[in-house]
Structure 1
Amino acid sequence: MKKQAVELGRIRTGYSRPNPKPKGRPIPVRSETFIFTSHSRDYVAAAAEQWGGKVEGWTPQNSKIEQFRVITKAREIRAIMPSGDPLSQAYEMWTGGGCARRCDGEREQKSGQPCLCLAQYGPEWHRRSAREVCRPTSRISVMLPELPDLGVWRLDSHSYYAADGMAGSVDTVLQATGGASMMPVRMWIEQTTRVADGETKNFPVVKIVPAVPQLKHALSGPLSTAAALDPSSLVARPALEAAPAEMPDYLAEARGCRSAEAVREVWHKANRAGHVRRDGTDDLSRDLMQISRDVEAGIDPRTGVVDDDQDDTGPDSEGVYEGEVVEDGEGGDEPPTAYPAAAWPEVTQPGGGAQ
């Protein structure tokens, strides 16, 4: 037994207006916009809110059960084609008693006989009046995500051109997805002109195509439910930028240095990374300069304690400190420092204006 969703209503492309003749049949009118009908006023009211139009009571032909209808202002709608095969097509003849014939073009299904229209009128039977022969009938069920409740809305069409177009679109989707997923579709009413036997006729045709950003999305296999509801999510998004690396703890590194020159190198490292200002007026530069002065003074910047290896011998009885004799280097000059004082930004030098 075939499983199918609950039918919530119908999508139509035509309606009828009263015949001015008292005994005349209602006059069919082709609509340029979509029409929604349902037994539920709430569903029709939701369609009117979404696509415009006025909700009104309506009774189908050959029926006594009142329904509700809205002739919207929408020439195009977005829908979702459910999984499986949502399209049914046949040649049918309807009378006051219901469906009298249903044929696939070769065999009439109710009687089991070969096509009755072909047998009676020959190969050109399709040119006969709709009252004499079967009409092509296409039924496709779609879901409307903007409307309430889970179910399908059915669209019926008796157009040869719509039948070919619907079959082509659905077959392509089924071939790509195997009927295993839903597919977002775009539906619109297109005015078509046909010239035959010197006569020009204008009539509306419903077109249905997959509504995806690129064709490859419709042909790349089953889609997720999220992608069917939001086709824009199929577009490749740029990769997220990597989060910026955390700034090194320059102060901790500087407090571990054993010389002022090493502290200055920490500042240069921060400067190359853009973490301090070149003029040294930022807080980090000032903190590093203070650590450099502490190291030069023999103060451990981690504890604030004077190093144990400092000479703490006091003055002699005459108040004179014992001096330290330093051998001259080669050539009699002091060895150049690896990081001269000028390596600090001028403003951070003592008296340079740093606060």
Structure 2
Amino acid sequence: MGSRLLNIQRRAAEHGRLRTGYTQGNRPVRSATWVVTSHSEEHVRAAAELWGGEVEQWTPLNSNIAQWRVITKASSIEALITPGDPLNQYNEMWSAGGCQRRCDGETELLSRQSCLCARQFGEDWHTQPKGRVCSATSRFNVMLPDLSGMGMWRAETHSFYAASEWGGMVDMVLAGTDGKGFVPVTLRIEPRQVVRDGKTKKFPVVVVELRGVTPRQALAGPMSTAMALDPSGTRAVAALEAPRPDYLALAAGALHVDDVGDVYRDANAAGHLNDELVAALSKRAEELKAEAAKKASPGGSTEQVPDEDGAYPAEVVDEPSSTSWPAVAQAGSSN
């Protein structure tokens, strides 16, 4: 096994961001559905195919580097929590000049002072208007298994409520898996509201939920990668299903009306019959019936020729099937 640098943290490349809002001009707009942004047009177009929306070029505020984005039609998307601790949380205050405060809830790390917001406004500091105090900033790194690439996608929220819920959810999962293995989750944008000072405030909160597994399974230890990718097992079942036979090709190669009848019965047993297939099989039976009638006519050849062993061909008649098929085929088989 190869060696690694021990003083460098290993992490997957970041492919893009999962956002709950977007900008129109210089105005921020909250979104009820996921907004996917990336420097890669390929990733964003793949997201649009999965979750809808129109792909467009977009330049973030305070930046002159264009990216790609799609405002999807999906409020829920499937994701994977990857090994390690995927959650990063700070109380932060940003301006055009960059990050002005970054606090762990007790100590403001840039100035090394005690929490400035709590010292000024008390324990309910988070109810103050945005910009006056820090925002509870949570960054959640996940993998999107249905998009190309093995990199990470960062979901970010400044919701005080999501901060506590994300932390509780991730802590429980890490307690069960010890940060090993993948865990299937759903990221869902949920509308909420609170009444504060007689005013109703509505806002979106990103909820992280287990997907396809029970708490018992998630907390029992690291699960297999195969289970995390397909917790319900439906994709594995679909992969094992036999491909649908080409009934039209089988009928085209039939030499007798009875052979077409066999194709009909097989299709019926498999639940593949439809009006178009019945019509095609009936047409083929008519063609074989006409060919048989032509051979039986005075101008046709009815002489049987023995094979190399001197045996003449014999017709084998099966017991009639309980599943009937079009009358034209039944009539043809009596010739």
Q: Map 1:16-27 onto structure 2 (within 5 A).
A: 16-18=23-25, 26-27=26-27
Which amino acid is 2:37 matched to? T
Q: What's the offset of the Cα at 1:31?
A: 0.5
Aligned to 1:217: 217
Q: Does structure 1 conserve the Cα–Cα contact (< 8 Å) formed by 2:92 and 2:136?
A: yes
Q: Does the aligned pair in 2 maintain the 1:91–1:137 contact within 8 Å?
A: yes
Separation in 2, partners of 1:140, 1:44: 19
SS at 1:231's partner residue?
coil
Q: 1:151 to 1:127 in 2, by over 3 A?
A: same
Q: Deviations over 1:24-71 (max 9, x none)?
A: xx2221101101000010110000011111100000000000000000
Q: Give the corresponding residue for 2:82.
A: 82
CA distance in 1 between partners of 2:114 and 2:36 (Å)? 37
Identity of aligned residues (%): 52
CA distance in 2, matches of 1:209, 1:57: 31
- Please give the residue correspondences for 1:230-249 in structure 2 after superposition, counting only pairs within 5 Å: 230-233=230-233
Query: CA contact under 8 A between 1:212 and 1:218: conserved in structure 2?
Result: no
Q: Is the Cα–Cα contact under 8 Å of residues 18 and 154 in structure 2 kept in the other structure?
A: yes
Q: Which residue of 2 aligns with 1:8?
A: 15
Q: Which residue of the partner structure matches residue 178 of structure 2?
A: 178
How many angstroms does 1:78 deviate by?
0.5
Distance 1:186 1:121 in 2: 36
Residue 313 of structure 2 is matched in structure 1 by: none
For residues 213 and 118 of structure 2, the distance between their equivalents in structure 1, rounded to whole angstroms, comes to 44
Would you say the 8 A contact 1:17–1:28 is kept in 2? yes
- Which digits, 9 at most, give the CA deviation of each residue in 1:278-302, with x for residues without a partner? xxxxxxxxxxxxxxxxxxxxxxxxx
Is the 8 Å Cα contact of residues 16 and 39 (structure 2) preserved in structure 1?
yes
Q: Structure 2 length normalisation: TM-score?
A: 0.66
**Is 1:146 aligned with 2:146?**
yes
Looking at structure 1, the residues matched to 221 and 114 of structure 2 have their Cα atoms a distance apart, in angstroms, of 38
Separation of aligned partners in 1, 2:87 and 2:215: 21
Question: For residues 122 and 74 of structure 1, what CA distance do their matches in structure 2 show?
Answer: 38
Instruction: Give the structure-1-normalised TM-score.
Output: 0.62
Contact 1:169 1:210 (8 Å CA) reproduced = no
Q: CA RMSD in A?
A: 1.5
Q: Aligned AA for 1:54?
A: E
Instruction: Determine helix, strand or coil for the equivalent of 2:49.
Output: helix
Q: For the residues of structure 2 that align with 1:171 and 1:124, how far apart are their CA atoms?
A: 24
Aligned-partner SS, 2:217 = helix
Poorly superposed stretches of 4+, deviation over 4 Å: none
2:180 aligned partner, one-letter code: A
Q: Distance in 1 between matches of 2:43 and 2:222?
A: 29
Offset, 1:212: 2.7
Alignment partners' CA distance in 2, 1:213 and 1:183? 9
Q: Following TM superposition, by how much is the alpha carbon of 1:10 offset from its aligned partner in structure 2, in angstroms?
A: 0.3
Give 2:125's aligned residue. 125
Aligned-partner Cα distance in 2 for 1:195–1:129: 15
Deviation of 1:76 (Å): 0.7
Partner of 2:165 in structure 1?
Answer: 165
- SS of the aligned residue for 2:117 comes to helix
- Tell whether the 8 Å contact from 2:16 to 2:36 is kept in structure 1 after alignment: yes
SS of alignment partner, residue 107 of structure 2: coil
Match of 1:52 in 2: 52
Aligned-partner SS, 2:216? helix
Distance 1:197 1:117 in 2: 20
Q: Computing the radius of gyration over CA atoms, which structure comes out larger, 1 or 2?
A: 1
Q: Which residue of structure 2 aligns with residue 310 of structure 1?
A: none
Number of the residue aligned with 1:337: none
Residue by residue, what CA displacement relative to the aligned partner does 1:201-230 show, whole Å, maximum 9, x if unpaired?
111111001213322111111011111111
Matches for 1:247-258 after TM superposition, within 5 Å:
none
Q: Which amino acid is the alignment partner of residue 200 of structure 1? A: T
Query: Superposed, which structure 2 residues align to 1:163-312 within 5 Å?
Result: 163-233=163-233
CA contact (8 A) 2:20 2:30 kept: yes
- The Cα of 1:2 is off from its aligned counterpart by 3.0
Determine helix, strand or coil for the equivalent of 2:114.
coil
Secondary structure of 1:145's match?
coil
